[in-house]
Structure 1
Amino acid sequence: MSPGTVDLGSAYAACRRVNARYGKTFFLATTLLRPDQRPAVHALYAFARWADEIVDAAGVTDRAGELDRVERLLEKAPSNPILHALADTMHRYDIDRSLFTDFLASMRMDLDVTEYADLDALGVYVHGSAEVIGLQMLPVLGTVVPREEAEPYAARLGAAFQLTNFLRDVGEDLDRGRVYLPQDVLGAHGVDRDLLQWCRRHRRANDRVQRALDDLVAHSYAIYQSAEPGIGMLSATSRPCMQTAYTLYRDILGLVGCEVLWRRVAVPNSRRLAVAAPGVGRALLARVTTHGIPG
């Protein structure tokens, strides 16, 4: 092994630790994948998390420069463990490099853009921050239809997950100076940044804020519904994982109220286990049916 080279197994293990620590709901769902699929998913998650941390890190003085450095490293054989695992995943599954370029472009938007006029403007950001992640995942998950047929559904599911995060993390994003909720939807209900900050500061609900959140929750539910047919297009061994992730993330929407402005809502562990447990049986059955033995 050449100096500075990271052992591939150790690199993937580092990515797994990132996923387990920061993406608990998604990490639970990944346990339903075949063992050979999980490392790639952990690598994709860890890279996205790493870039997101660069954007939000108070101690990084040149965040744009750091993102540029990360993008340059994608072209090399990196010694960073996350990038080393990612490079292997990209090669192994022939994942288009432009999907990572688009992702980093949205991360750069976070350095300057603090609000979005409407859903169309937000959609530009969401394409790079979330839809491309669905497209990155698709080669790893596998499909039973031509991949291009499943791609629009994978992108929509990524968008649905992202919109759920926006609704769940309104308060935390306010502290970072950002409002991802579209200004036209907020304005239609008489809500502005000052009112959101007042609710957060005083831990008080507001009817206008609640109505705006309700509208965006309904919009997000509609995207989940339009993405759902794509789960059936995945390989049989991948469906239990994505069905579990789909259900648990969608469940978060049912918890969204004004309290998201001052606390982080989460699906209870009992519900997570109730959703994941049947998936274990389906995953094992799919592996036996497809490969003859459980993995």
Structure 2
Amino acid sequence: MTRAERLAPYLAEMAASEQVIKQQSTTFYYAFSQLPAYQAKSIFVLYDFLRQLDDAADTKQTEAFTRLRQLWQTVKLGTPQTRLGRNLLLVFQTFAIPMQLMDEMIQGQTHDLQHQPIRTWADLHHYCYLVAGTVGLMIMPILREHSLTTTERAHVIRVGIALQLTNILRDVQEDYRKDYVYLPQAVLFQAGIDLKCLNHTQRKLPTGLVHILKLLGKQAEHDYRVAPAVINLVPDSAGRVALALAINGYAAILKQLRRRNYNVSLGRVVVSNRVKAWLLVRAKLRYAI
């Protein structure tokens, strides 16, 4: 029995997660809705749970986070009692996704819930792996059947980290206003930077802060270089196009930030529908072979 055949009887029950993602994560939905139903809905189930974890951690909803962590424990034990839990177990079993990856993701979200500080570049790199590198490693088994080599795994992690760094750069001001700082504290201290400058829109940010933001941007750009290799790990064209669209959507955000000279006080960068359409055309031209 193929993976598509195994999941076919459950697709209707998995549709609830698809609707959640369609409403809350339009870019993500736009990318992965291009896949065959059994792959798309599996990714939406996974992302539905991840989104709930992230929201609970970001809004300090400790009880909700604890319930989600307990739900995951029932999945690991093979005894889920909720629809989402049953769907998660089905996805992890069908695609042989290592459950340790979700444990690491929850560890990263716990970092946010408990407001643990990021002090060094190494702290930031590890955090990005926990909350984003793991996501790539969970999605890849859905898109392909063969295991990753050590080098391929490293490339997937690098792209995940690039995506998270892009997220951090895009949301620096918004996160600061919610009392979250993902820029390494030791680096900010050494540069004498006070992030109170982010309380207002400014035509020009302090040079030291721009320098740090540029360093993050350059690191993301460096990691995005392995994106084509990661995309080509996917054997079918629909999967390659979907993955390319998701990755290139974030790369487009980074490009806009660079054009602003990383002035993150000018408002949140978004990818327009026109740009999304162009990214889809470009992905199909390059990867739909």
Quick check: TM above 0.5? yes
Distance 1:39 1:92 in 2: 13
Residue 248 of structure 2 is matched in structure 1 by 247
**TM-score normalised by length of structure 1:** 0.82
Residue 4 of structure 2 is matched in structure 1 by none
Distance 1:27 1:259 in 2: 28
Residue 73 of structure 2 is matched in structure 1 by 72
Shift in alpha-carbon separation, 1:263–1:113, aligned structure 2, 3 A: same
Using the TM superposition, give the Cα deviation of residue 63 of structure 1 relative to its aligned residue in structure 2, in angstroms: 5.4
Query: Which stretch shifts more, 65-74 or 245-254?
Result: 65-74
Paired letter, 1:19: I
Paired letter, 1:85: N
Residue 275 of structure 2 is matched in structure 1 by 271
Residue 228 of structure 1 is matched in structure 2 by 228
Distance 1:282 1:206 in 2: 38
Distance 1:119 1:227 in 2: 22
* Counterpart among 111, 125, 135 of residue 109 in structure 1: 111
What runs of 5+ residues in structure 1 fail to find an aligned partner? 1-6, 287-295
1:203 matched to 2:207 = no
Deviations along 1:222-259, one digit per CA (max 9) or x if unpaired, are: 11113432222221322111122222111111222555
Shift in alpha-carbon separation, 1:27–1:215, aligned structure 2, 3 A: same
Deviations along 1:81-117, one digit per CA (max 9) or x if unpaired, are: 3222211111110111111111111111112234312
Using the TM superposition, give the Cα deviation of residue 281 of structure 1 relative to its aligned residue in structure 2, in angstroms: 6.3
Paired letter, 1:17: Q
Distance 1:227 1:188 in 2: 33
Query: Which stretch shifts more, 120-129 or 98-107?
Result: 120-129
Alignment of 1:144-159 (within 5 A): 146-149=147-150, 150-159=152-161
Paired letter, 2:200: H
Shift in alpha-carbon separation, 1:241–1:56, aligned structure 2, 3 A: same
Deviations along 1:62-97, one digit per CA (max 9) or x if unpaired, are: 356335423323234434332222111111101111
Q: How many residues align?
A: 273
Distance 2:44 2:285 in 1: 22
Shift in alpha-carbon separation, 1:272–1:64, aligned structure 2, 3 A: closer
Distance 1:83 1:262 in 2: 40
Residue 3 of structure 2 is matched in structure 1 by none
Residue 166 of structure 2 is matched in structure 1 by 164
Matched residue SS, 1:62? helix
Query: Which stretch shifts more, 90-99 or 75-84?
Result: 75-84
Q: CA RMSD in A?
A: 2.5
Shift in alpha-carbon separation, 1:146–1:90, aligned structure 2, 3 A: closer
Deviations along 1:175-203, one digit per CA (max 9) or x if unpaired, are: 33211122344345432xxx32332x222
Distance 1:44 1:197 in 2: 37
* Counterpart among 81, 84, 99 of residue 82 in structure 1: 84
Distance 1:102 1:222 in 2: 24
> Is the 2:11–2:38 Cα contact (8 Å) retained in structure 1?
no
Shift in alpha-carbon separation, 1:12–1:64, aligned structure 2, 3 A: closer
Using the TM superposition, give the Cα deviation of residue 8 of structure 1 relative to its aligned residue in structure 2, in angstroms: 3.9
Paired letter, 2:254: L
Shift in alpha-carbon separation, 1:262–1:76, aligned structure 2, 3 A: farther
**TM-score normalised by length of structure 2:** 0.84
Shift in alpha-carbon separation, 1:282–1:254, aligned structure 2, 3 A: closer
Residue 3 of structure 1 is matched in structure 2 by none
